[in-house]
Amino acid sequence: MLEMQGIETFYGETQALFGVSLNVGPGEVVALLGPNGAGKTTTLRSVLGLSPPRRGRIHFDKQDITHMPTHRIARMGISWVPDDRRVFPTLTASRNLRLGSRRTRFRAWEQQEMFGIFSALEHLMGRECENMSGGELQMVAISRALLGSPGLVLFDEPSQGLAPLIVQGVMNTIHRLKQEGISVLLVEQNALAALEVSDRVYVMDRGHIGHEGCARELLGNAALRQRLIGV
């Protein structure tokens, strides 16, 4: 579904990614782990065309998206759940969701279905996002991503700032997306929670992919886990 080959991305003259290659298959959940500054967010920004790579190729759904503008990449079926949620604070949840709605070649989701996933959302629809808690905002951000009819969702630190119970809810939602055949690339500091919901894992360090493997295997190998991700 997503294939990145030899991606090199820069901020000005500073190189952040050094030949990053990774792929996400259809309906696969892939975790991207690593310490602060490793290049995880930059990898997502490269896919989205927000920080286009200087070298390497990115294919999504068999099409070359390397130098496509972000709005076209979104219309191809890639949704993003950013770490800072990026909702319009003075607009209601309902308006934010309407602004995120989009049709692609992938399954279209209805607003009503979001209430099935997040039962609390229905009562939040008329509330401005600036008056919401972190967990409520995350529901809006994930619902907005789904209403964009994605084939692939990029999650950037979805558990950041959330209570453990809400984190579990977010991870359950990711599992649900997988069951629906949606692919997920999951950047997460909460490595154990991410590994539990993922099929495969990449570990990054200083702009390089240092390890690629099966998530379950890494979860079950405490020594390797300690060496690679320090948990």
State the residues that interact with ligand ATP by CB under 6 A. Answer: 11, 14, 16, 34, 36-42
Of residues 9 and 66, the one with the C-beta less far from ligand ATP = 9
Nearest distance in Å: CB 189, ligand ATP: 7
Asked if residues 155 and 174 have their Cβ atoms less than 8 Å apart, the reply is yes
Q: Which residue's entry shows tokens 């219309």?
A: 75
Burial status of residue 214 (CB atoms within 10 A of its CB: 0-12, 13-18, 19 or more): middle
If the CB atoms of residues 175 and 208 are measured against ligand ATP, the closer one turns out to be: 208
Nearer to ligand ATP, 34 or 169 (CB): 34
Query: Which tokens go with 64?
Result: 């070359």
Residue 172 neighbours by CB under 8 Å, 6+ apart: none
Whole-number Å distance between alpha carbons of 62 and 126 = 39
Do residues 46 and 136 touch, judged by C-beta distance below 8 A? no
Q: Given the complex with ligand ATP, which of 33 and 177 has the nearer CB atom?
A: 33
